[in-house]
Amino acid sequence: MAETVEIRWHGRGGQGTVTAAKVLADACLSGGRYVQAFPEYGPERAGAPLRAYNRVASKELRMHCPVLEPDVVTVVDATLLDSINIAEGAKDNTAFVINTTKDPKEIRAKLKAGPKQRVVTVDATKIALDCFGRAMPNSPMLGAVCKVTGLISIDHLLDDVRKSFGKKFSQKIIDGNIEATKRGYEEVKEG
């Protein structure tokens, strides 16, 4: 792992994007790592575009400002691709993880991604609907990010999803989210 991995999440209010960033931070805590997860706050409510961030590092994280040059950009809602510049500040080797039904090649073309930039897609909304009947793509996106970054093992992540969701939801929803996370991990497509 690089010394610090910085992730920027793009989503809309109500899609569980902030929760995803939090679960990821918690899961990355193991092995003495330092983590941060923080959303950008405004008065916006459900539906409004929002950003959240993660930093994961092997040494103490002192930086307290938004991620400006993300190693990973995660887009939880593909419709955002048309409305905001999700590639802002991206580095030569930034990886994009996009929730979309489209083919990664199509997305790569749309983003005009560079040769070292990875473009990964996953149909997270469909997975979420399949697994627990709600269009909450955050858990499959977590699985996808886990696969792309290799920050933690999928088993470890699933444990954390169980722990985090267990506080608020019924067993059925927890099981659905576990399944969705696993499928997100497995069904990523790169191109």
Partner 1 sequence: MAKVVAVTGNEACANALRQVNPDVCGIYPITPQTDMMQRFASYIADGKVDTESILVESEHSSMSACIGAAAAGGRVVTATSSQGLALMWEMLHIASGDRLPIIMPVVNRALSAPLNIHGDHSDAMGARDTGWIQLWSENGQEAYDNTIQAFRIGEHMEIRLPVMVCLDGFIISHSIERMEYLEDQEVRDFVGPFKNFLPLLDLDKPKSYGPLILTDLYHEYKRAQHEVMTKVKDVVLDVAKDFEKLSGRKYGIFETYRLEDADIAIVILNSAAGTTKDVIDEFRDKGIKAGLLKPRLFRPFPFEEVAEALKHVKAVCVMDRADSFGGYGPLFMEVASALYPLERKPLLLNKVYGLGGRDYLPSHAAQVLTELHDISRSGKVNVLKEYIGVRE
Binding-site ranges for partner 1 (CB under 8 A): 21-22, 25-26, 28-29, 32-39, 41, 43, 61-66, 68
Residue 101: Cβ within 10 Å count: 11
Least distance between partner 1 and beta carbon 3 (Å): 12
Name the residue nearer to partner 1 (CB basis): 63 or 84.
Answer: 63
Of 144, 139, 138, 143, residue with least CA distance to 104: 144
Least distance between partner 1 and beta carbon 79 (Å): 26
Least distance between partner 1 and beta carbon 7 (Å): 13
Name the residue nearer to partner 1 (CB basis): 48 or 68.
Answer: 68
Name the residue nearer to partner 1 (CB basis): 62 or 112.
Answer: 62
Of 80, 112, 114, 115, residue with least CA distance to 99: 80
Least distance between partner 1 and beta carbon 52 (Å): 10
Name the residue nearer to partner 1 (CB basis): 53 or 185.
Answer: 53
DSSP the chain: --SEEEEEEEEETTSSHHHHHHHHHHHHTGGG-EEEEEE---S--TTSEEEEEEEEESS-----S--SS-SEEEES-TTHHHHS-TTTT--TT-EEEEE-SS-HHHHHHHHT--TT-EEEEE-HHHHHHHHHSS--THHHHHHHHHHHH-SS-HHHHHHHHHHHHHTTS-HHHHHHHHHHHHHHHHT-EE-
Name the residue nearer to partner 1 (CB basis): 18 or 141.
Answer: 18
Name the residue nearer to partner 1 (CB basis): 52 or 122.
Answer: 52
Least distance between partner 1 and beta carbon 155 (Å): 18
Least distance between partner 1 and beta carbon 47 (Å): 20
